């Protein structure tokens, strides 16, 4: 059934978003030259402590890089200095100076969901760490993680800096604290820290706050298919997805917090979403999906058992999303729900199956 779930999911994604995949090729020629450059730099480890830089200079000239070492105290003298062309010796040089050890506290990364609604809870995973040694000892520092948008502070959380390495913590805050809907740039900053490098004390995280979810899923009963579709829509289509589950007959709850949701909120969410999905037994959510003026996807997961073979799709808005599928190689489905023909002239059939 996993292949059929993927097919229906691709159709659902195509109904609400068009995305482009960008590809980037690596320059293998440069890598080959760099490898030759490494092999070409030969140093003599005998007592004379001499080295040869001629092969390295000539190889670097081809790729636009240069190594400038006319004299090095640790290496000694370069015995082939006279063989290096004069124009290469005149080119600019890059000298890396050693840096004295210092203590540094930093924010390593910030991760979380980038598309939420005003009624959601934002959960951020923040990694922070330290490097170097404190002047007054190690592992005794306290700090504060501050989350802000512009000049507005949203929340703070006290932390203890590690002796070394990286730790991770979770920060939660309601999305209603954001001043405006739309894209926001969060700043997660280490406060109350005195270190020698303040430029890595903060990280930025972009998040989109919508008034209503772009996709709403009604699952009755809740199952793995609903979680699979919600995660796929959120990751692939990059839109805020809201899931409602019917845990008891007639009682719907929020799929993330399991908090009871009133009927008015269910109807409002379905009416404002660009895509509404009814899974499990779609008739259980008919009262909410009927009010939607946008795309509605019916995904029944309890159907008639047997060997069902999916046929090639007819011409529809989902044809492009399903292109490239080898239909003859698909195994038979174990169950299919028999749907009555929808009288709505705008309804579209994505896939059909026949019983063996």
CA atoms within 13 A on the CB side of 352: 11
- At 47 the pLDDT is 41
Question: Which range among 73-87, 191-205, 207-221, 309-323 shows the weakest confidence by mean pLDDT?
Answer: 73-87
Write down the architecture of domain 104-210 according to CATH.
Answer: Sandwich (2.60)
What is the number of helices (H) and of strands (E) in the chain? 7, 18
Alpha-carbon distance of 217 to 72, in angstroms, equals 68
Domain ranges of the chain: 2-16+214-355, 28-89, 104-210
Across 70-74, 86-90, 232-236, 290-294, least confident range: 70-74
Predicted confidence (pLDDT) at residue 189 exceeds the cutoff of 60:
yes
**CA dist., res. 114 & res. 186, Å (int):** 11
User: How far, in Å, CA of 72 to CA of 135, rounded?
Assistant: 34
End-to-end CA separation in angstroms for the chain: 17
Q: How far is CA 60 from CA 52, 182, 288, in A?
A: 14, 49, 67
Cα 272 from chain centroid?
26
Q: What is the mean pLDDT of the chain?
A: 74
pLDDT tens figures, 238-250: 778 889 999 888 8
The per-residue pLDDT for range 210-268, each reduced to its tens digit, is 877 788 999 988 888 888 888 888 888 777 888 999 988 888 998 888 889 888 888 88
Whether the pLDDT of residue 64 is over 80: the answer is: no
> How far, in Å, CA of 350 to CA of 153, rounded?
48
């Amino acid at each position: 059934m996993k292949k059929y779930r993927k097919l229906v999911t691709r159709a659902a994604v195509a109904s609400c978003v068009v995305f482009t995949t960008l590809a980037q090729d690596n320059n293998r020629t440069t890598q080959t030259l760099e490898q030759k450059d490494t092999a070409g730099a030969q140093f003599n480890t005998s007592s004379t402590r001499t080295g040869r830089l001629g092969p390295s200079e000539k190889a670097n000239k081809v790729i636009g890089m240069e190594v400038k070492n006319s004299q090095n105290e640790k290496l000694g003298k370069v015995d082939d200095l006279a063989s290096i062309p004069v124009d290469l010796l005149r080119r600019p040089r890059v000298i890396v100076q050693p840096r004295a050890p210092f203590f540094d506290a930093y924010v390593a990364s910030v991760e979380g969901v980038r598309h939420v609604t005003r009624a959601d809870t934002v959960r951020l995973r923040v990694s922070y760490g330290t490097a170097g040694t404190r002047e007054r000892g190690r592992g005794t520092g306290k700090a504060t993680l501050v989350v802000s948008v512009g000049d507005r502070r949203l929340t703070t959380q006290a932390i203890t800096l590690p002796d070394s390495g990286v730790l991770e913590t979770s920060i939660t805050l309601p999305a209603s604290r954001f001043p405006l809907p739309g894209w926001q740039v969060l700043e997660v900053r280490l406060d109350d820290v005195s270190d020698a490098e303040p430029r890595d004390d903060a990280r930025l995280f972009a998040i989109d706050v919508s008034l209503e979810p772009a996709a709403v899923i009604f699952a009755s009963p809740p199952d793995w298919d609903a979680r699979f579709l919600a995660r796929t829509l959120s990751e692939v289509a990059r839109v805020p997805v809201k899931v409602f589950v019917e845990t008891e007959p007639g009682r719907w709850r929020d799929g993330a917090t399991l908090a009871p949701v009133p009927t008015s909120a269910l109807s409002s969410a379905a009416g404002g979403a660009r895509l509404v999905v009814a899974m499990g037994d779609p008739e259980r959510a008919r009262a909410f999906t009927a009010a939607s003026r946008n795309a509605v996807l019916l995904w029944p997961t309890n159907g008639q058992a047997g060997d069902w073979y999916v046929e090639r799709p007819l011409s529809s808005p989902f044809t492009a999303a399903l292109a490239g599928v080898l239909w003859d190689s698909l195994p038979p489905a174990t169950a299919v729900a028999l749907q009555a023909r929808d009288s709505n002239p705008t309804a579209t059939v994505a896939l059909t199956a026949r019983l063996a």
